[in-house]
Amino acid sequence: MTPSSLQASAVPTACVIGWPVKHSRSPIIHRHWLAELGLTGDYVRHPVEPEHAADFFANFAGGPFIGCNVTVPHKEVAFASVAHADAVATALGAVNTVWLEDGRLMGSNTDAEGFIANLDQLAQGFDANPGAAIVLGAGGAARAVIWALQARGFAPIHVVNRTRDRAEAMAERFGPDIRPAGWNDLPALLPQAGLLVNTTSLGMEGQPPLTIDLAAARDDVLVTDIVYIPLETPLLKAARSRGLQTVDGLGMLLHQAVPGFERWFGPRPVVTPELRRLILADMGIVEAGAAA
Ligand code: ATR
């Protein structure tokens, strides 16, 4: 939708706002569910420059959208702009899903739920005996992952980050079970952890690879990456070749979309292998053994 077409639409329309937002695959996800469920509605990309983000939210109720997803760099502005943020969004200080209730702007953050739902689907029982976990990175994505792991009982959570202050800020936000650490500490931490999560941008297409020696890791450690381009990151590849269980990050993107769709359009959609294939096809990937 272009700015000139921002009149009230006859079709209930949600959007994703960000800057830039042209690579977002959220429209593919939501349009797939709308078609699958036979619903009238639409979902579009809506680029909003940083200097206009606060205005966008301030004028949301009079605008053309029934709700929106919020992506980088607007999640903190969204949090500051909503009339009410739910408990998760408040804990994270960031909003990624917005809707209206009686004309009031409401906000949630579904990144944590998306992260956990992906593991529930692809590594069922991963939290049966939650113990120590390692989270690589201490940015916005790490916040959602740490919140989710705490909610599932993981402790302690070692937060390994290049910039020590940011790891320490996680301990201030989430409490003493969060243990700030540096990359040099990793070899000593690996034998303790049953879960290893990468939330840094390392390993992402165009970024340096994440190269860590997994020799000291437990044989039963689950390794997951929130980076999903490429689908098999260098970390996941190294883990797989060491025989470790892995979960890629694409499912987090798919699952974080579920609560927003349900808020805006009614039914709760399901993340299916078909939806995963659709997104992979858009990424130019045909998964080996993709049946069902
Ligand atoms: P996001 O909101 O996606 O988490 P972010 O807040 O920019 O993005 O955080 C990126 C994370 O990747 C941070 O933990 C960052 O480490 P610093 O806090 O030290 O910046 C980490 N990261 C990015 N590039 C890195 C690199 N070359 N080496 C080590 N860590 C890196």
Instruction: Return the structure tokens found at 114.
Output: 């998306």
Instruction: Tell me which long-range contacts 55-62 makes (C-beta under 8 A, separation of at least 24).
Output: 56/17, 57/81, 57/82, 57/98, 57/105, 60/98, 60/100, 60/105, 61/100, 61/103, 61/104, 61/105
Going by the DSSP 8-state scheme, the letter that residue 251 receives in this structure is H
For residue 162, give the ligand 1 atom closest to its CA: 19
Enter the tokens of residue 220.
């039963």
Beta carbons of 67 and 101 less than 8 angstroms apart: no
pLDDT in tens, 225-247: 999 999 999 999 999 999 999 99
Q: Residue 10: pLDDT band by 50, 70, 90 thresholds?
A: confident
**Mutation test residue for ligand 1: of 147, 200, 233, the one with most atoms within 8 Å of CB:** 200
Q: Which two tokens stand for residue 126?
A: 């991963």
From its phi and psi, is residue 191 left (phi > 0), alpha (psi between -120 and 50) or beta? alpha
| DSSP conformation class of 15 | E
* DSSP per-residue string spanning 124-147: TTTTSS---EEEE--SHHHHHHHH
Parallel, antiparallel or unpaired: strands 97-101 and 67-70: antiparallel
Judge residue 223's burial from the number of C-beta atoms within 10 Å of its C-beta, 0-12 exposed, 13-18 middle, 19 or more buried: buried
Site to substitute for ligand 1 among 160, 199, 201, 235, most atoms within 8 A of C-beta: 201
Distance from the alpha carbon of residue 213 to the mean position of ligand 1, in angstroms: 19
Spatial separation of the C-alpha atoms in residues 4 and 276, rounded to whole Å: 33
Q: Give the amino acid at 269.
A: P
Residue with the bigger pLDDT between 6 and 95: it is 95
Taking only the tens place, the pLDDT of each residue in 72-131 is: 999 999 999 999 999 999 999 999 999 999 999 999 999 999 999 999 999 999 999 999
**Interval between CA 201 and ligand 1 midpoint (Å):** 6
User: pLDDT tens across 270-292, in order?
Assistant: 999 999 999 999 999 887 765 44
Distance from Cα 210 to the centre of ligand 1, integer Å: 12
> Residue 5 pLDDT > 60, yes or no?
no
Q: Which of 32, 74, 75, 143 is catalytic?
A: 75
Going by C-alpha positions, the residue among 201, 160, 187, 157 that lies closest to residue 175 is 157
pLDDT given for residue 7 in this prediction: 53
- For residues 173 and 144, the answer to whether their CB atoms sit within 8 Å is no
- Catalytic annotation on 75? yes
Q: What does the alpha-carbon distance between residue 130 and residue 195 come to, in Å, rounded to a whole number?
A: 9
Q: In the chain, what percentage of residues exceed pLDDT 70?
A: 95
Dihedrals phi, psi of 164, to nearest 5 degrees: -60, -40
Q: Indicate which residue's Cα is closest to atom 5 of ligand 1.
A: 139
SS3 123: coil
For the segment 62-81, the average pLDDT, to the nearest whole number, is 97
